[in-house]
Structure 1
Amino acid sequence: MEFTQLLTVTNVKIMKILVIYYERMFEMNKVEVKDFKSCLKPMPDILVSCKGENGEVNALAVGYAGNCSYDPPMVMVGIVPSRYSYHMIKETGEFVVNLVPESLREKYGYLGSKSRRDEDKLVKVDVSYKEGLKVKAPILLDCPVNIECTVVDSIMTGSHEMFIGKVEYIHADENLLDDNGNIDYSKINLLKFR
């Protein structure tokens, strides 16, 4: 056998050994994750605010949210049908995504654990808000970024209905914008609840 053939055969054997080694190493370091909710983190913990046709306003904590289209810009939020806000969004087709700063951790927890059926949560925890510019749903003034949305579609995915919202207007605290007018997320200490 010539030297180049021997080298090729040796290289192939070494590569096979390395592949087997890395496959075994990979298998040994992988275990099954039992809790699906923990596998796609970090996801933003947000407050979704809405306004019913009767004029009631509400906000609820939402853990399922994200961008779903850049052109046109759209976001989606997942809401359990038993939630009070679910029906408000269904009837009006509007909501606002509010990014939550760490400083609102306590209010976020309260808004996520109480129902508007029982009390006016926004009054109870002194949340400041005003009506959006493009939608009637309120923007929460203590949140650094507010994304006004109109529902363009929704889909039941099991436990949640995913509302797909076309972004109508984005508000941000002025001090958070970079020189190009984009949000500089390094300037925001967003809530990391989970």
Structure 2
Amino acid sequence: MKKTNVGSRLALYPMPVTVVGTMDGDKPEWLQIDHVGIIGHNRILVSMFQKHHTNAAIKLSGKLSINLVDRNLLPKADYVGSVSGEKVDKSEVFDFHIGEGGTPVIEASALTMECDVVEMFEMEGFDNFICSISNTYVSDDALDENGHIDYTKLNLVLFEMPTYSYLEMGPVIGKC
């Protein structure tokens, strides 16, 4: 296989599309964030451009929710990622409830993790929140007969940055 050196490029795509939620006073604040990663068995890194309005609310509350996005949720997720909470009230975009951890949980998201921010650091114009997972809510339709999450039932949407495209997760191709 012939390969071409394309330079120093971040090429760990696609990534799952998520909507991060937090409380801004008594109202939820929503933002589509696609740079979310696993950094341990109970730790998630959420990396957000520093100019986002949502960051200040997360810093104040120390909590956030990560709501996974499927095809049905994508138009609203894309909207909350395209408009600024500084200029537009996004609090009523989603039906939600407040989870046990105090974060807004999107009703239409088949999987939501409530998180507590345990550490934050800045890097190259991004606020990076290291979070511990306090609660995970899963649609009953996405659980298998043993009560485990069946990711094939979530129909997740993925984000690919170089072309700014959305993809759907495909079928299982093998066991590991």
TM interval, short-chain normalised: 0.7 to 0.9
SS of alignment partner, residue 16 of structure 2: coil
CA contact (8 A) 2:15 2:159 kept: no
Which letter maps to 2:137? H
Residue 128 (1) aligns with residue 128 (2): no
| Larger-gyration structure (1/2) | 1
Residue 63 (1) aligns with residue 63 (2): no
What is residue 75 of structure 2 aligned with on the other side?
106
Which letter maps to 1:82? K
What is residue 4 of structure 1 aligned with on the other side?
none
What RMSD in Å do the two structures reach over aligned CA positions?
Answer: 1.6
Identity among equivalent pairs (%):
27
What is residue 142 of structure 1 aligned with on the other side?
108
Shift of 1:35: 7.5
Larger RCO (alpha carbons 8 Å, 6+ apart): 2
Which letter maps to 2:83? K
SS of alignment partner, residue 13 of structure 2: coil
Total equivalences in the alignment:
160
What is residue 42 of structure 1 aligned with on the other side?
14
Residue 91 (1) aligns with residue 70 (2): no
Q: Which runs of 5+ in 2 are unaligned?
A: 161-176
Which letter maps to 1:85? T
Q: Higher helix proportion, which one?
A: 1
CA contact (8 A) 1:50 1:137 kept: yes
The 4+ residue runs of structure 1 with deviation greater than 6 A are: none
* TM-score, normalised with respect to structure 2: 0.85
Distance in 1 (alpha carbons) for counterparts of 2:83 and 2:7: 28
Shift of 1:192: 2.5
Shift of 1:79: 0.9
* TM-score, normalised with respect to structure 1: 0.77
Shift of 1:188: 1.4
